[in-house]
Amino acid sequence: MKKLLLLAFFAWMTTTIQAQLVDGSVAPNIKAMDINGRTWNLYDILESGRPVIMDVSATWCGPCWSYHNSNALETYYATHGPEGDGKSMVFFVEGDGSTNLSCLYGPTGCVGGTQGNWVANTPYPIFDNATVANDYAIAYFPTVYLICTDKTVKEVGQLSATNLWTQASPCVGDIPANWGNISKFDPGARSLQICGKQTIHPKFDFSNLGTDEITSMMVELRWNGTVIETIETTDAVTVLDQASVEFSPMEITAKGTLTAEIVEVNGVPNGKPSVQVVEFVDPAPSYTGNKIEVRVRADNSAKDIYWALLDENSNILADGGNQLVGINGGGQFPNGAPASPTAYANNASKRDTVEIPGECFTFVVVDAVGNGLLAPGNIKLHTLGGASFRGFTGNFGGRTGEAFTAITSGIDELSQLTALSIAPNPVAETMVVTYDLGISTQVNMSIVNAIGQTIFERNGAFATAGEQKSEISVAQFANGLYYLQLKAENGNVVAKPFVVAH
């Protein structure tokens, strides 16, 4: 039986070998979390001047196990990795998606087969990530790649540590001694759109990409070019290690540019510039109504999705999806979110109606894995029973959102304006608007479309109390949902939806 399996493996290898990446191909970036929870960015390492040796193996693979136990990569890492001369890096990728994480630790709980404990005494990062193997068109295990600092790939095979360095050393670039590089700048905002005011909590993650340990660092936070906070850190960060810097909360009330920069490292100017910028912009067009409908079409990994409606103080007013992911769970579960009774079913459709209590709100969508909603999966916001006015789909990363201003005041408020009716409804050409006035007053009419744009206005003359009628032509309007609004002199408003269908 073992011989048959071995023959089948070599037959598979022979038929798929042509899919392997050609030497000189551009290396796909790897932005992934290792089994210890550290997120790595391959391009950051390459741009620091360090080539990467990457071993893509499978836990059941005998030749992979033999090479792993030769300690060639362990020796290479000890000599040229962060604790050696710091000129290179090593990645190990378990690239077979049919095996589970347990297989890296040995046979207990392993599904798919394993040769033993791959984690014990392995000092370099280990990734359980079949996506990397697919991106690199791995045709057989093990495949050992050299990824040079120009981001090109070369298959080098199962070489000794000395021979690996012979291949890699010409790729080594100019690595500054003191260099902190911002890898992720999080403005700590519910949305990058201005809607009322919000308190943000800026922070960033950075990596030590220099050759020396970072023992001190000066960083600046700027708003529209003006320094608003300077922080001097004294925590030690070893070579290729990561750390975070958190700034004081600040209030945002208008659009502008937020900038974070590492200015000095170990008392000298940063070895290479490291600046990250976030733009705060005006909100989307206003939405008219006091309710919205959230329509969810889940993808085939529905348990990873969570959404929330936030007020201007970032309080959660309504939410849906996997509560175990939550508002801060974007990208925090690279192997998939834990199961939850609140999670959506795969490929299911669901609708929720949500009240809008104020004039400013933010809708946020979170993905636990960090790859967004795979099409045709999507989440769309609709006017109540009407057309979609905002959708979220595709690879938006771990979190996306948008702020809106909602025209809610005066909806269905019937003081001096009563008994509003529209006939016919739906309407194709001309509609007759009928309403009663409780007192003599002037009434102004307007029509607002589904995304809050005013497309028709008529200022009325002074009218006495009683029933009023008015005709409005809608022949030039596109099909869809609209709102008719009547406003009296004292500010009282009544609104009614209608549909144009030619």
Q: What angle do CA 458, 462, 466 make, to 5 degrees?
A: 100
In DSSP terms, which residues pair with 422 in a beta bridge?
Answer: 433
| Percentage, residues of the chain above pLDDT 70 | 88
Q: What is the pLDDT of residues 302-336, one digit of tens each?
A: 999 999 998 877 788 899 999 999 998 998 887 78
Lowest mean pLDDT among 170-179, 193-202, 461-470: 461-470
pLDDT of 413 > 50? The answer is: no
Q: SS3 of 2, please?
A: helix
| Cα first-last separation, the chain | 71
What pLDDT, on a 0 to 100 scale, did the predictor assign at position 490? 57
Mean pLDDT for the chain overall: 87
Q: What is the pLDDT of residues 50-88, one digit of tens each?
A: 999 999 999 999 999 999 999 999 999 999 999 899 999
What pLDDT, on a 0 to 100 scale, did the predictor assign at position 12? 38
**CB-based burial of residue 277 (10 Å sphere; 0-12 exposed, 13-18 middle, 19+ buried)?**
exposed
Short-list 67, 68, 66, 84, CA closest to 76: 84
Concatenated DSSP letters for 81-115? STTTTSS-EEEEEE--TTS-GGGGG-STT-SS--S
Which two structure tokens, joined as six digits, stand for 209? 């990409």
d(CA 86, CA 411): 65
Confidence class of residue 175 from pLDDT cuts 50, 70 and 90? very high
pLDDT of 415 > 80? The answer is: no
What pLDDT, on a 0 to 100 scale, did the predictor assign at position 440? 66
What pLDDT, on a 0 to 100 scale, did the predictor assign at position 385? 60
| Residue whose tokens read 């005041």 | 409
Q: Under a CB-based contact definition with an 8 Å cutoff, are residues 16 and 140 in contact? A: yes
Structural domains in the chain plus CATH codes: 2-171 (3.40.30.10), 180-280 (2.60.40.10), 287-407 (2.60.40), 417-500 (2.60.40.2550)
What pLDDT, on a 0 to 100 scale, did the predictor assign at position 3? 34
Question: Measured on CA atoms in the order 76, 82, 86, 87, is the torsion positive or negative?
Answer: positive
- Higher-scoring residue by pLDDT: 357, 99: 99
What pLDDT, on a 0 to 100 scale, did the predictor assign at position 324? 95
- When mean pLDDT is compared over 83-97, 188-202, 394-408, the highest value belongs to 83-97
What pLDDT, on a 0 to 100 scale, did the predictor assign at position 409? 46
pLDDT of 268 > 90? The answer is: yes
What pLDDT, on a 0 to 100 scale, did the predictor assign at position 37? 86
Q: SS3 of 32, please?
A: strand
What pLDDT, on a 0 to 100 scale, did the predictor assign at position 492? 59
What pLDDT, on a 0 to 100 scale, did the predictor assign at position 314? 79
Lowest mean pLDDT among 27-36, 296-305, 358-367, 425-434: 358-367
pLDDT of 414 > 80? The answer is: no
Confidence class of residue 468 from pLDDT cuts 50, 70 and 90? confident
Section 90-106 average pLDDT: 96
pLDDT of 261 > 50? The answer is: yes
d(CA 93, CA 99): 12
What pLDDT, on a 0 to 100 scale, did the predictor assign at position 28? 95
pLDDT of 432 > 90? The answer is: yes
d(CA 358, CA 165): 63
Confidence class of residue 458 from pLDDT cuts 50, 70 and 90? confident
What pLDDT, on a 0 to 100 scale, did the predictor assign at position 469? 87
pLDDT of 472 > 50? The answer is: yes
What pLDDT, on a 0 to 100 scale, did the predictor assign at position 14? 33
**CB-based burial of residue 2 (10 Å sphere; 0-12 exposed, 13-18 middle, 19+ buried)?**
exposed
The one-character DSSP state at 304 is G
pLDDT of 18 > 60? The answer is: no
What pLDDT, on a 0 to 100 scale, did the predictor assign at position 491? 57
Q: What is the pTM of this model?
A: 0.66
Residue 38 identity? R
